[in-house]
């Protein structure tokens, strides 16, 4: 994995701002893995894992999140155990097979490509249905839409076991009232917000330096942050 520089992150942020989270994730990982052209076919949990690694390289290991207690509205702070998450999700086998309700079902772990088709395609539909590659009962093919609820639940559970970071949830306890609940962590949203805050800070620095010295944006961005900060401090004196 390579770590994109500040100017590149600004370009990605610019392009990704109007896009949905899955496309933002693909933009970031394409910059981190420029030699790979198959990122959209990685399982969602593995994509989340790589986003966590990228986030650690860009913004460090600690990730503190705030959540409102649903019972008493106290603001609860939690430090997400990011290093522990990384142990949970290596790239899993792509194709799987189960037998349920007399049906042999072959399926694959949901990928970014599946997610985009399920949410943006001309025929949007259930993500789970897109993971079913084939189903067969007594030698007769069964369409995904005709599979029983128990079979679909079994497929869903098998996906959760094989690709645990596809859905990241944490148990929360409110220190004020003791209420317990579960909160989801959408790593791309967290990372994108951090990149946005960084982009806004850098752009305001560029604006001040361009105004003061007449330098071009590309030249200012090509400087190290140490050198930019030095000029900014000099402007303050």
Residues in contact with Zn ion by CB under 5 A are 69, 71-72, 74, 174, 176-177, 179
CB of 78 to Zn ion, least distance (A): 13
DSSP string, 142-170: --GGGS-HHHHHHHHHHHHHH-GGGSEEE
CB of 179 to Zn ion, least distance (A): 5
Q: Residue 174 or residue 221: which is nearer to Zn ion going by CB?
A: 174
Q: Residue 28 or residue 69: which is nearer to Zn ion going by CB?
A: 69
CB of 168 to Zn ion, least distance (A): 22
- Tokens representing residue 80 in the block: 């997400």
Q: Residue 75 or residue 153: which is nearer to Zn ion going by CB?
A: 75
Residues 6 or more apart in contact with residue 139 via CB below 8 angstroms: none
Q: Residue 14 or residue 180: which is nearer to Zn ion going by CB?
A: 180
Helix (H, G, I), strand (E, B) or coil at 65: strand
CB of 171 to Zn ion, least distance (A): 14
CB of 177 to Zn ion, least distance (A): 3
- Tokens representing residue 21 in the block: 């989270």
Q: Residue 71 or residue 91: which is nearer to Zn ion going by CB?
A: 71
Ramachandran quadrant class, 4 (left: phi over 0; alpha: psi -120 to 50; beta: rest): beta
Is the separation of the CB atoms in 20 and 188 below 8 Å? no
Residues 6 or more apart in contact with residue 128 via CB below 8 angstroms: 110, 152, 155, 156, 159
């Amino acid at each position: 994995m390579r770590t994109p520089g500040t100017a590149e992150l600004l370009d990605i942020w610019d392009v990704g701002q109007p896009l949905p989270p899955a496309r933002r994730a693909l933009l970031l990982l394409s910059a981190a893995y420029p030699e790979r052209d198959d990122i959209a076919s990685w399982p969602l949990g593995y994509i989340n894992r790589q986003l966590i690694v990228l986030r650690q390289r860009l913004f460090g290991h600690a990730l503190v999140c705030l959540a409102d207690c649903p019972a008493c509205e106290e603001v609860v702070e939690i430090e997400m155990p990011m290093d522990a998450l990384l142990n949970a999700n290596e790239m899993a086998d792509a194709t799987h097979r189960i037998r349920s309700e007399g049906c042999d079902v072959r399926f694959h772990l949901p990928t970014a490509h599946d997610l985009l088709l399920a949410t943006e395609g001309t025929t949007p539909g259930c993500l789970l249905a897109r993971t079913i590659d084939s189903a067969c009962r007594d030698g007769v093919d069964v369409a995904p839409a005709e599979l029983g609820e128990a079979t679909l639940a079994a497929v869903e559970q098998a996906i959760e076991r094989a690709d645990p970071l596809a859905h990241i949830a944490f148990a929360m306890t409110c220190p004020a009232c003791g209420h317990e609940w579960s909160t989801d962590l959408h790593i791309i949203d967290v990372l994108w917000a951090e990149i946005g805050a960084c982009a806004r800070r850098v752009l305001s620095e560029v604006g001040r330096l361009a105004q003061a010295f007449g330098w071009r944006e590309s030249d200012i961005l090509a400087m190290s942050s140490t050198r930019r900060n030095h000029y900014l401090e000099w402007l303050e004196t």
